[in-house]
Structure 1
Amino acid sequence: MKLLKKILGKKEQAIVSPDDFWNWFLENEKIFFDVVNNQDDIEANFLNKLSPKLDELREGYWFLTGMFDDDTAELILTADGVIKNIVFIEEIVAAAPQIDGWKFTALKPSSDIENVNIHMADVVFSKDNLSFYSNEDPDYPDEIDISIIHDDYSEENHEAITTGCFIFIDNYLGELDFATTIDNVDFVEKDQITKELVPIEKLKNFLIWREKEFIEKYSGIRYNTEDDGYASLEATLENGMPLLAIVNSTLLEWDKKASHPWVLNIQIKYEGYESGMPDEETYALMNEMEDKIMALLPDSEGCLNIARETANHEREIYFACKDFRMPAKVLDQMQSEYVGRLNIEFDIYKDKYWRSFNKYDPPPQY
């Protein structure tokens, strides 16, 4: 039996926490450093070993590596722009030990614009051929909406140019700022511009100024939902199934929606009845989970429960939040707690003026 154990080797420890991951990394860091330093088939000898370990911890980790300087290898963990994964990237890097010869970075950092030159499909993206201007809408004064102009942009090469521009801006601003500061981007041909062009190198300062304005306007704002009124809505889907919704109608009239710009959308899929409604057991379990979420995401912490819909074998629950980190952690906790009992998915996206909920507006009166 001892011989058999020796032949089979030691079973690797499962990765269930950031500490587990870093303990594994410590055991291999010298080998990994040499691979990166010598560029010894980095994908096979480092990245392909790293990926399954990170996947054990959770899905959604991406990574880049290279030499930071002559003596230091750098590992950058990135959420690839997925908002709900950002907090977990930040946490795993915060838990990293100090290792001589290694630098660990959460999210792709910003770069000096002089060093940002992207070449894709025979097209160059640099400060020399990119500019922008801001679009203002008096109905949405806090929204950051910009138009990007590339000298060679046209409808025919739209996909290639937009992809390259997004990569350029991601490198220039850094992953976190690009993912969280700009609300909308469109692309305009040079002969269709409507405003004076601004050099792309001024984009960073423009965003800092707009963010400062936003913080000064909305800092400290909280909303108490205790006395709000709720509306019960019924509808019929195109497939004939009923839809039931409960909506905080008072909250939807609030004039400071932009102070809570992050929408949390929770989806729970279930079998239920042929009508698309849940059975009694599932209904009770979903309500139990929703009560827990309400307790963990209170309005005093900047999380406002806006609505829930039940239809077509799915319940959706909506919150508007001041930040995206807390709701991501709470929903990750709920997924773990109800695994095998409820099929829970969630997304977090920016919607400063809550356009997602225009569907609950009453029909116009004529």
Structure 2
Amino acid sequence: MRFADDFRFSDATTLHLGGRPVGAVHCATPDALATAVSRADSLDLPLLVVGGGSNLVVADGDLPLIAVAVDCSEIDIDTDTGFLRADAGAVWDDVVSASIDAGLGGIECLSGIPGSAGATPVQNVGAYGAEIADVLTRVLLLDRATGTVEWVSAGALDLGYRTSNLKRTGRGVVLAIELQLRTDGLSAPLRFGELARRLGVTAADAGAPGTVRRPASAVRDAVLELRRGKGMVHDPADHDTWSAGSFFTNPVIATADTAAVRDAVARLHGAAVADAMPCYPAGEGHSKLSAAWLIERAGFVRGFPGPEASVRLSTLHTLALTNRGGATTADLVGLAREVRAGVRDAFGVTLHPEPVWVGVDIDG
């Protein structure tokens, strides 16, 4: 472990926002991470575990907590069985790249997602029709209530759409993850229309979209191309990527309520636009809407509120809120509240933020 008093959240998050903790401890191994968290808990010291910092909205100013920086990054792969083990601090896209280089498939659709491996089960990260729950077998977990460290099966994590019991309770700290990947080098089934089209998959293909697979390396290349086109691959030199990725989750509502949303869209934009509203099954009696689509139809265009703003929607993708270089967290929260209120007022749908909030709250 290494202690530091010059840690700044603005240097440790992809939003490049946030103030300073009381201090920080850097942990180069899973054991060191478990020890640091357990010691802080035993002293009743508030702490924040920081991996890639891609899913954090941290308050400005001085924060009364310890930052525990996850620097452990080892990746082990068994090409015969397809098992991959990664320390919590491993850069997630490095994990994906290593799996492709090893001839494995299964996580290529998650290419380019910023952050660390340890965050993937907490959020149940997903993109382009795939999510970590598809391949996660177990996690090495520190139980903060008991201080025990043990492997816990994925089935015990209550993985759902961008959530888990790890996120809801904060009780466990992920030290490492284990994935079961394909050994034939083929991708997961291509379920996402945009990606499938990019790879030439059509309804005429054998098995139809949703069952067709492609070489994992080709899928990774296509995903990275799509994400770069939306400003969703972090680049420190590009302010359009200074974000927390997709800021709001796609809202899941009762299917019975979708008619009211369509009616609201029709009043603003006409029946043709309302009929084209994206709406997908999301479990019994529920449907999933597109947050980006609703944001745009509520009047928030790409780049809103304009080029002079310190925080604005990405010029490439309305679902990303971006720091243009001189912003504060307060600026970001103000824009997030404005967008959420606009969508709620227009369509009666409340958007929920995807990032973890520290020292600040979108609800004020």
Bigger RCO of structures 1 and 2 (CA < 8 A, at least 6 apart):
2
Give the TM-score normalised by structure 2.
0.28
Q: Which has the higher strand share?
A: 1
Max Rg structure: 1
Higher helix share: 1
